[in-house]
Structure 1
Amino acid sequence: MPVFEYIAFNPKGRRCKGVIDADNMQMARSRLRERQLFPAEMREVRSQDHSRKPVWGFLSTGRLRPKDVSLITRQLATLTGAGFPLVGALGSVISQTRSTPIKRTLSRIKDTVEGGSGFGDALAAEGPTFSPIYINMVRSGESSGTLELVLERLADLLENQETLKSRIRSALAYPILMAIFGGLVLFALMTFIVPGLVAIFSDMQQELPLPTRILLSTSHFLKAYWWILLPALIALPFLFRKARHSQRLGIQVDAFLLRIPIAGTLATKLAVTRCCRTLASLLANGVPILTALGIVENVVGNKVLAKTIAQAAKAVERGDGIAASLAAGRGFPDMALQMIQIGERSGSLEAMLEKVADIYQNESQNTVAALTSMLEPLVILVMGVSVGLIVLAICLPIFEMNQLIR
C-alpha cells in the first residue's frame, strides 16, 4: 500500500505534518478529512526516498538514531507479545509516534510487509538504519515463529547498550568540559593578556629569568600562530576518527588505544561487553555460530579485536573451540576466555557469555567512575600549576628590579 507524506491544517488552523498509508492520493485525502485535517501539500513516499541525503547532509546521516530504534523495538515487542499481528503493531506504532522520520521509516516497512515480504527483508531494505545483528535476529525469529521473543531480547539488548553509553557520556561530560574551558582560558591568557603585562620587560637592560623567557617565547608563538593552532585542534578529532576508519591506519590506531593506561583497559572492557552480549543474543536466537561471529566482527568497535574474531571464525570452521580460537589472537582478557571455555564445556555458552558481558559492563562503569574522580582534580591541578607558573614568570623580573633599586 502506498505511503503519503502530508502537510495539513487542523480545524483551529494549526499546521501539522505526518504520513498516512492509502491506496491512492484521493483516498489519502479522504482519510485526512475524516480526521478533520485539511491537506495543503501531499506527496508519495517511495522506497528509494530513504537513501536520499538530507538537505543538511553534513550534519545528519539521514538515519534513525539508536535511541529511536530502541524505542520502536520495545513498542513492537510489547504489541506483538500482547497478540497484535505484525502489520497491526506497525500501524499502531505509526499512529502513536510524533516523529516524522520514524513515521516515514515504519510506513515503508509496513508497506513492504503488506506486499508479501518478510519483516527481516523489509528492515534490510532500509539500508544501514538497522544493524546486521538486528536483521539476522529478526529473520531467525520469523523462521522459528518466536518473533515476539526476539523483539523482546533485541529491545533489552539495545536499551542496555544505550544505558551504558549514556552513563559513560554523562560521567565524562563534566571533566571534558572543564578541560576544554580551562584550555581556552589559558590560551586567551597567554595570547592576549600576558603580552601586555610583560611588555615592560622588553626595555630592561639585563637578562630575564629563564621562566620569563620561556613565557615570552610561548606567548609570542601563540599570538603569531593562533590562527593555525585553533583550526588544527578543532580538526584533530575528525582526523583521528578518519584514521580509525581507514584500512591502512585503523588497526594501528586501535592497537595504540588499547595500550593507553586506564583508557585502553576501558576500551577493552567495552568491546568485550559488546562482543559477548551480541554473540549471546545471536546464539540464543538460533543464528549459526559462524554467521554470529561474522556479525560480531562488524559490531565489536575495535579493529584489533575484530581481527581476532575473524581469525577465530576460521579456526571454529576447522573444528576448534571458540575460547581456544579467541586466545590465539590479541585483545581478549584471560578471565573472559576462561569463562567462555567453561561455558563451552558445560553446554551453557549463551548464559556464560551473558555473565561475561555483565561482569565487564559493571567493571566498565566502575572504571568510568574512577576515571571521572581522577580527571576532575587533575584538570584543576593542571590549571592551578599553569596559572602559578605564569604568575611566577611575571613576578621574577619584578623581584630582581626591586633588588637592583635597593
Structure 2
Amino acid sequence: MKTFEYVAWDHSGNCKEGVRQASSQDELLTHLRSEELTPAVINEVVGTQPKKTDQVRYKKVKSVELATFCWQLNTMLSGGLSITVAIQTIADEITNPYFEYILKKMSGQIEKGMSFTDCLYQYPKVFGKLCCAIVMAGETGGSLTASLERLAEHYENRDKLIRKVRGAMAYPCFVVGFIVVIVIVLMTLIVPRFSLMFEEFNGELPAFTRGFMAFYDMLVHYILHILVVTAGLIVGLVAYGKTKKGHEKLSQVMLSVPVFGNIILMSFVAMFCKTLGTLIGAGVSVLDAFGILNGPNRREQRIVGCCDGKNQ
C-alpha cells in the first residue's frame, strides 16, 4: 500500500485535504469520486530513510515524552497514515536527540520488514517490558491504536503520581536541609565566639558545648578522611543494593525511615496497581503481567523489593 496526500473539492465548493493509503493513484481517484469529491492535487508520500547518524549519547526518555509519542502515533494511525511515516514525522518534531535517533532507526527497521513490537524490544531502556507487552497484545489482536491510547494514559498517570510524591517529600526535605544549615552556622560562627569569650573569663563551657566543639574540631581536621570514607560507603551501598539480598535489606531500611517510608511504600503500591491494571486491561494474562512487573526496570523492581521488605 502507498500513501497519498490529496486536495479535493466537494459540490458545495469546500476544499478538503487529507492523507489516504491506496495501491495506486487510480484507486485513490476512484475512491474520491465515489464520495462525490473532485480531486485537484494528489501527491505520493514517500517514506524517507532516516539519515545516517553517528551513535547519539544516551539521554533518559521521560514519561511525558513517551506519553506524547503514544498519543501522536495513535492519532496518526487512526488518520490513515502508515506506521513508518507516522514514526518518522514524530521523530522530526522530538527535542530529545536520543529518542529522535531511536525512532528514526525504528522507522527504517519497520520499512525493512521488522514488526513494531520487535523494534520496541531492541530498546529496553527506553520502552521497557510493559510497553512491549501492551503493544504486542494490541498488534496481534488488531487493536494497536487502543493499546497506544492505554499506554499514553498509563505514562501520564505515572508522571502525575511521581510529581505528587515529589511534592509530598519536598517539605520534609526542606525542613531537614534547613536544620542542617542552622547546625552548620552554629558550628562555624556562633559557638566558636562563645568559646573564646569563656576562655577570656577563665570560665568552663557546658559539657554539651564542649562535646559540640570537639565534634566540630574533628570535622575540620579530618574532613578529607571523612569525605573518602563517605564516598566509599556510598559506592559500597550502591554495589550491595544491586544484589538481590542487598536490595531487600535496603528496601527494609527505606521503609523504616519515619515519614519518608510511608510515602515511598504508598507510591510503589499505587504504581504497582496502576501498572497491573493497565496490563490486564490491554489483554495481557495475569501470569505474564506479574512476570513483567517482576522487573521491567529498576523502578518497578523496587516495588517488589519494598513490598517484600514490608512483609518481613
When normalised by structure 1's length, the TM-score is: 0.56
Q: 1:304 matched to which residue of 2?
A: 305
Q: 1:44 matched to which residue of 2?
A: 52
- Cα pair distance change 1:209/1:218, threshold 3 Å: same
Query: Structure 1: how far apart are the matches of 2:86 and 2:302?
Result: 33
Q: Which amino acid aligns with 1:163?
A: K
Query: Structure 2: how far apart are the matches of 1:65 and 1:261?
Result: 29
Q: How far does residue 123 in structure 1 lie from its aligned partner after superposition?
A: 1.1
Equivalent residues in 2 for 1:182-331 (5 A)? 182-202=179-199, 205=202, 207-229=204-226, 240-298=237-295, 299-304=300-305, 330=311
Q: Quote the sequence identity (%).
A: 23
Aligned equivalent of 1:72, options 69, 75, 80:
69
Query: Structure 2: how far apart are the matches of 1:217 and 1:283?
Result: 60
Mapped contact 2:67–2:156 kept (Cα < 8 A) = yes
Mapped contact 1:254–1:303 kept (Cα < 8 A) = no
Query: Structure 2: how far apart are the matches of 1:158 and 1:171?
Result: 20
- Cα pair distance change 1:78/1:231, threshold 3 Å: farther
Q: How far does residue 86 in structure 1 lie from its aligned partner after superposition?
A: 1.6
Q: 1:396 matched to which residue of 2?
A: none
Q: Deviations over 1:260-318 (max 9, x none)?
A: 4443333222222222221222122222222111111112523435769xxxxxxxxxx
1:248 aligned counterpart, secondary structure = helix
Mapped contact 2:109–2:119 kept (Cα < 8 A) = yes
2:176 aligned counterpart, secondary structure = helix
Query: Structure 2: how far apart are the matches of 1:231 and 1:174?
Result: 30
Mapped contact 1:191–1:222 kept (Cα < 8 A) = no
2:177 equivalent to 1:180: yes
Q: How far does residue 162 in structure 1 lie from its aligned partner after superposition?
A: 0.6
Mapped contact 2:268–2:303 kept (Cα < 8 A) = yes
Structure 1: runs of 5 or more not aligned:
1-20, 29-42, 55-60, 309-328, 332-406
Query: Structure 1: how far apart are the matches of 2:109 and 2:76?
Result: 19
Q: Which has the higher helix share?
A: 1
Query: Structure 2: how far apart are the matches of 1:230 and 1:192?
Result: 22
Query: Structure 2: how far apart are the matches of 1:182 and 1:210?
Result: 22
Aligned equivalent of 1:111, options 108, 113, 123:
108
Mapped contact 1:141–1:150 kept (Cα < 8 A) = yes
Q: How far does residue 139 in structure 1 lie from its aligned partner after superposition?
A: 0.9
- Cα pair distance change 1:267/1:238, threshold 3 Å: farther
Aligned equivalent of 2:88, options 79, 87, 91:
91
CA RMSD of aligned residues (A): 3.1
Mapped contact 2:120–2:132 kept (Cα < 8 A) = yes
Structure 2: runs of 5 or more not aligned:
1-46
- Cα pair distance change 1:168/1:197, threshold 3 Å: same
**How many residues were matched structurally?**
262
Aligned equivalent of 2:135, options 120, 129, 138:
138
Q: 2:156 matched to which residue of 1?
A: 159
When normalised by structure 2's length, the TM-score is: 0.71
Q: Which amino acid aligns with 1:283?
A: I
